[in-house]
């Protein structure tokens, strides 16, 4: 049984550490450029095939925050669909580690899990901090990036 008055339900507790089904994203050059343009980021590494080919990367790579679009839909949906006493959702932030660049043509497999639940008293009252952890692997099996995302439910 969940503790009386706690926002942590038994259903939620059961999800901790459960790895999601992998989701696969094919990285298109056009998607990288569109993403960079929507940010207004003109860095040649994620905009210009010619200029980027003259750098140590030998071609275009994805910008650092590009992983924010490589979601794992199933896990993402659980964030919004979980029937919790705390209904409202806030994105509190991210931590991303980068090991290898993501390049056009890469096939990125994203797995994720609810890594941690914390209950806190904050400015918005009692809240849950849900930490989701995502692992991004490329077609050679290398982990290119690990991301952690803190979602607040209150």
Partner 1 sequence: MQPFFEDVAIGQELPPVTRRPKLMQMVRWAGASENLHPVHYDPEVIRASGVPDALVHGRLKAAFVTEVVTNWMGTRGTLHKLSIRLLGMDFPNQELVCRGKVIGKPETSGGPVVECEIWLENPQGEVTVRGTAIVSLPHRNGS
**Which CB atom, from 94 or from 111, has the smaller least distance to partner 1?**
94
Residue 54 CA neighbour count, 13 Å, CB half:
4
Binding residue (CB under 8 A) for partner 1 from 24, 92, 107, 124: 92
- Write down the least CB distance from residue 2 to partner 1, Å: 27
Should residue 38 be labelled a site residue for partner 1 when binding is judged by CB under 8 A? yes
Binding residue (CB under 8 A) for partner 1 from 65, 109, 116, 131: 65
Binding residue (CB under 8 A) for partner 1 from 15, 16, 41, 59: 41
Binding residue (CB under 8 A) for partner 1 from 9, 47, 94, 116: 94
Should residue 53 be labelled a site residue for partner 1 when binding is judged by CB under 8 A? no
Would residue 113 be called left, alpha or beta, if left means φ above 0 and alpha means ψ between -120 and 50 degrees?
beta
SS (H, E, C) 25-74: EECCHHHHHHHHHHHCCCCHHHCCHHHHHCCCCCCCCCCHHHHHHCCCHH
Q: What is the rounded distance in angstroms from the CA atom of residue 134 to the CA atom of residue 136?
A: 7
Cβ atoms of 78 and 9 closer than 8 Å: no
Q: Which stretch binds partner 1 (CB under 8 A): 2-10, 16-24, 28-36, 126-134?
A: 28-36
Should residue 107 be labelled a site residue for partner 1 when binding is judged by CB under 8 A? no
**What number of residues does the chain have?**
154
> Where do contacts with partner 1 occur on this chain (CB under 8 A)?
31, 34-35, 37-41, 43-45, 52, 55-57, 63-65, 68-69, 71, 90-98
């Amino acid at each position: 049984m969940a503790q009386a008055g706690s926002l942590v339900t038994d259903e939620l507790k059961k999800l901790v550490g459960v790895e999601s089904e992998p989701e696969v994203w094919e990285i298109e050059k056009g998607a990288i450029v569109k993403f960079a343009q929507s940010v207004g980021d003109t860095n040649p590494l994620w905009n210009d095939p010619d200029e980027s080919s003259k750098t140590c990367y030998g071609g275009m790579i994805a910008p650092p925050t590009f992983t924010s679009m490589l979601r794992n839909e199933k896990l993402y949906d659980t964030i919004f669909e979980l029937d919790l006493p705390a209904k409202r959702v806030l994105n509190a932030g991210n931590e991303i580690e980068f090991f290898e660049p993501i390049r056009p043509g890469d096939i990125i497999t994203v797995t994720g899990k609810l890594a941690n639940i914390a209950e806190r008293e904050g400015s918005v009252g009692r809240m849950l901090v849900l930490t989701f952890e995502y692992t991004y692997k490329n077609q050679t099996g290398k982990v290119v990036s690990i991301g952690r995302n803190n979602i607040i439910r209150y």
